[in-house]
Structure 1
C-alpha cells in the first residue's frame, strides 16, 4: 500500500525531529520507512541540531560539519522526502548554548555568524528553520534573525520556534529570555507555528487542560503544535498511548484547525522503538489524519454554558512549590544509544 497522500492543507501537522542519525555501530538510521511504510502521512522533518561555533565558518550538525561524509546518506534521503512532499527544516540551537548569543550582538557580529548559516541553508535546500532558543536572547535579536531569514529566503520559507509550553502561558516560565507573546504581536505574521514542548516538566499532555488554557489565552489554534517525547528515554513527560490517543482525538475533534504534533525524536520512537521508529508517525496518522477514524471518534458538542473552568496544574492546599526541572540533555550521535 502506498503512503497516505499529503493533503493540500497540511493541518494537522505530523512532525518528527531527527537528531540521532546513526546507531551505535555507526550505521545511518533511515528515514525512508516514513515514506514506504503504509498508513503514514508525515508532513515535516526537522533536522537537528545546527550549531554556530566560535569560528563563524565552523558550523556543525551535531558534532561534525554538514558536509562530512557521514551525512551523505542523510542528505540523499532528505532530498527524497522533499521530492515526496515532506518539508524539511533545520533546527538551530537546542540545549547546546552559544548559537543565539553569537547572533544577538552588534550588527557586525550578527553578519559574521549569520552569513555562513545562510549559506548552509541554501546549499542544503532546506525548506525552513526551527529556532530552538534555549538560552538568553533579546526580543530585538530574535526579531532581527526572523526578518533576515524572511528577506533572504522569501515568503515560502518556513520559520518556526520551539518554546516550552509553559512559556505560552507565562513569560517567566521560559528558557529563551524574550517574551513569546510580545514576539507574536511583533512578528507573528512571519512565524508559521510554535513547536511547544509539553514535556520535561514544562507541559503535560496526559490531559487536555494545559493545551486548552493556551488556546483560551488567545494563541491561534493552527500555530500551536503539541510537542511530545516519543520515548521515556528522551526525557520526562512521556504519555502512554492509551491516554495520549484519547487526548489527541478530543483535541482534533474539538478544534477544526488543530495545529498537529511533533515528536522528539525519531530514532527510538515508540511503539516500534529503535527497530521500527516509524510506527510513532503511523499512530499519529491514525488519530490525526485519517478522516474515517475521526468521523467515528468525534467528541460530543460542548455546551458553552456548562463548560467547566479549567485550571492548569491545580495545587492542593498547602502544597509545596513545584521545582523547576533540570535542563534536558538532548541526544547526539556520540551518545550511548
Structure 2
C-alpha cells in the first residue's frame, strides 16, 4: 500500500527549500523540466532562474546567452507560471560569475534608468516573485541601496529581494570577498527590505559538513531566519560538495537548534537543479523519483515536514561543536599553498579567499592580500 503523502509546512513557514536553475537546456537543446519538483512532492518552496545579465549597451539584457523572450525559453516561462500556480515562488537572479551587471547600474541617474528599465520590464512580463542579487564584482554600497530601494518602490511589499554572499562575507572582520561592499552595512541600512541571504558555503568560502560555520554567522549577530545554507548539488558544480546523507544531518540539527528563534533556521539552497544528486547516493534515499527530484525531496523530508523525529535533535557533541573554534573549510587548494600565505601573516580564511579570487595562483594571491587586506 502506498504511503500517505507527507504533510509539509505552508510555504510561508519553516525553513526554505530553494534551487537555482541556470542550466536550462541539455547539450541537445532540450529543456530541463522543473515540473518534477511538483509531481514528486519534494517540498520545494522557491526556484531562482539564473542568470540575468545587463550588458554594456542599454537595453541589451540576456538570460544567460540569449534574450529572455527567445523561443528557447517558452517552456521555461510556462513552467514558471505552473510552479507559481502551485504555491512555489519563482525569482530571477541578477549577476553571478559573469561580471558587469552591477557595474551597469553604478552610473549616474540617467545611466541607471537606461539599464534598469529592461530589468523592470522582464520582472513584470514574467510576473517573477522577486530578484536575487548575486554580486560577484566590486560594487559600492550606494549602488546596492539605490537598486534595492527602487525595486521595493516599483514592486511593493510582496516582492522578494535576496542576496547571495559567500559565507566569509557575513563573519566579523570579513576577509576579501566577492562583492566589495559590507553586507553588515547593507543589512543595517535596508535589512527590512532584504528577505534573506542565499549564503555560499562552498568553494572554500564556508563548509556545510557540520553546523559550525552557520553557527558562527549566527553568533556574529545575523538572524538564522535570514541565513540560507547554500550548497552545491553535485561534485561537478564546485568544491565543497556534501553528500545528501551528511547534509540531511546538518540541516536536521540546524532546524532543531534554531526552532523557536524567530522563524528559525533559514533553510537550504542548492546550486543547481539540472544535475542535483548526480554522484550521490540520493537515488537510494528517495527511490522512485528522478535523481534531481530525489535530492530535493531528501532535504524536504528534513526541512519541511511538520514534525521531526527525536533522533534529529542535536547531540551533546554537536552542542560542544557550536562553541569550539571555527574549523577550516574543505577547500580545493593544497594545504601547503594555504600555509605559504599564512606564514606571511594572513589568517587561513583570508588565504583561502585570496586563492579563490585568483584561481589558485599563489603569487597573485599573495599580491591580492597585500593590496587589499593589510592597511
- Structure-1-length-normalised TM-score: 0.90
Native 8 Å contact 2:25 2:31 kept in 1: yes
The corresponding residue for 1:313 is 327
The corresponding residue for 1:48 is 50
**Partners in 2 of 1:191 and 1:167 — Cα distance?**
16
Query: Within 5 Å, which residues of 2 pair with 1:72-111?
Result: 72-111=74-113
Tell whether 2:242 aligns with 1:239: yes
Q: Which structure 1 residue ranges, 5 or more long, are not aligned? A: 330-337
Q: Which shows bigger deviation, 275-284 or 160-169? A: 275-284
Instruction: List per-residue Cα deviations over 1:43-78 (Å, max 9, x = no partner).
Output: 000000000012221210000000000000000001
Tell whether 2:141 aligns with 1:127: no
Structure 1 residue 217 displacement after superposition? 0.5
Tell whether 2:274 aligns with 1:259: no
**Partners in 2 of 1:275 and 1:36 — Cα distance?**
10
**Partners in 2 of 1:158 and 1:191 — Cα distance?**
7
* Aligned-residue RMSD, C-alpha: 2.5
**Partners in 1 of 2:162 and 2:322 — Cα distance?**
32
Q: 1:77 to 1:36 in 2, by over 3 A?
A: same
| SS in structure 1 of the partner of residue 270 of structure 2 | strand
**Partners in 2 of 1:307 and 1:32 — Cα distance?**
39
Q: Which structure 2 residue ranges, 5 or more long, are not aligned? A: 284-288, 330-334, 343-350, 360-375
Count of residues paired in the alignment: 326
Query: Within 5 Å, which residues of 2 pair with 1:44-193?
Result: 44-169=46-171, 170-193=173-196
Q: 1:98 to 1:156 in 2, by over 3 A?
A: same
Native 8 Å contact 1:3 1:37 kept in 2: no
Q: 1:2 to 1:28 in 2, by over 3 A?
A: farther
User: Which structure has greater helix proportion?
Assistant: 2
Residue 294 of structure 2, aligned match among 247, 269, 279: 279
- Structure-2-length-normalised TM-score: 0.81
Q: Which runs of 4+ in 1 moved over 6 A?
A: 301-304
Native 8 Å contact 1:198 1:227 kept in 2: yes
Native 8 Å contact 1:213 1:311 kept in 2: no
The corresponding residue for 2:29 is 26
Structure 1 residue 10 displacement after superposition? 3.2
**Partners in 1 of 2:318 and 2:95 — Cα distance?**
43
Instruction: List per-residue Cα deviations over 1:18-58 (Å, max 9, x = no partner).
Output: 000111111110000000013x1100000000000122212
